[in-house]
Amino acid sequence: MGRTPILILTALLAAGCGGKSRIVVGSKNFTEQVVLGEIVAQQLERRLGVEVDRKFDLGGTLLAHEALKSGDIDLYPEYTGTALTAILKQPTVKDAKTAFDKVAQGYRTWGIEWLLPLGFNNSFAMVVRSEDARAQNLRTLSDAAHRSAPWRIATGYEFTQRQDGLTGLLQTYGLRMDGAPITMDLGLLYSALESKKVDMAAASATDGMLAHPQFTILEDDLRYFPPYECAVAVRRESLSRFPHLKEALSELSGRISDSAMRGMNEKVDVEHKPATDVARDFLNSWK
């Protein structure tokens, strides 16, 4: 009888210490985010020797941001253009450094620090079938605006609501649409193009499918889209709790090029390799 309270107390203390010894890495709900989340998680496991919980596929930007603010996760990868417009509700900025500085400053209100970018810029990319681009002599979005037929456009769910999304794009270029945009999961955009359900899709510049010749990105010649540099957003409290966390995360800054990210996405989406393996191969390539 006398030992029972001590055992209970010891168990509770151990559980509490165990909770504090874990880092929770989050991600949004598309391939690139899961790959990046896995890269970050494995980097921390290797460098810090801590247990890492993975909370991937959290949903869209707002859900991931709320999870970070509330402490449900310690960190996750985010994009400067997304953070600036969707979270901070500020006007778009064309200069990458200015965008990063504004985001880093804005997030300090919530006790969140932005580390230096990972190295790639995942801007939006308006994609068409290559056969249509060749037949209609389409190279830029200005060319697309002069096409006689209106466009059937597919987008992800957020793109129609974003300040830097569809409405501004249509106004900037004078693009005409054939009916309302068709919204869908990002992973379905390319199959919608291939099946000719739509003529244009609002995709991402680092999508793995863009390595395939049947798709063509139309140049954003009027520079409508702002920079979307990816960086890790991390709670300041987490940085304090794990003294070497920032150092381990900072080793990833500048390490991932546009082509490297596109290649990793292709391995998951096209070659159907597990994100865990793709992340491990990437880390092994420079360790």
> What's the pTM?
0.78
* Residue of 208, 248, 164 lying closest to 32 (CA atoms): 208
CATH 3.40.190.10 residue ranges in the chain? 23-121+228-286
pLDDT of residue 158: 84
CATH 3.40.190.120 residue ranges in the chain? 124-218
CATH number listed for the domain at residues 23-121+228-286: 3.40.190.10
How far apart, in whole angstroms, are the C-alpha atoms of residue 35 and residue 27? 9
At residue 138 the predicted structure's pLDDT band, cuts being 50, 70 and 90, is very high
Q: Is the pLDDT of residue 3 over 80?
A: no
pLDDT of residue 232: 98
Q: Which residue has the higher pLDDT, 31 or 2?
A: 31
How far apart, in whole angstroms, are the C-alpha atoms of residue 174 and residue 287? 48
* Token couple for 176: 């005409």
pLDDT of residue 287: 60
Share of the chain above pLDDT 70, in %: 93
Give mean pLDDT, residues 104-128. Answer: 97
CATH number listed for the domain at residues 124-218: 3.40.190.120
Give mean pLDDT, residues 95-108. Answer: 97
How far apart, in whole angstroms, are the C-alpha atoms of residue 29 and residue 60? 7
Average pLDDT of every residue of the chain: 91
Q: Is the pLDDT of residue 286 over 80?
A: no
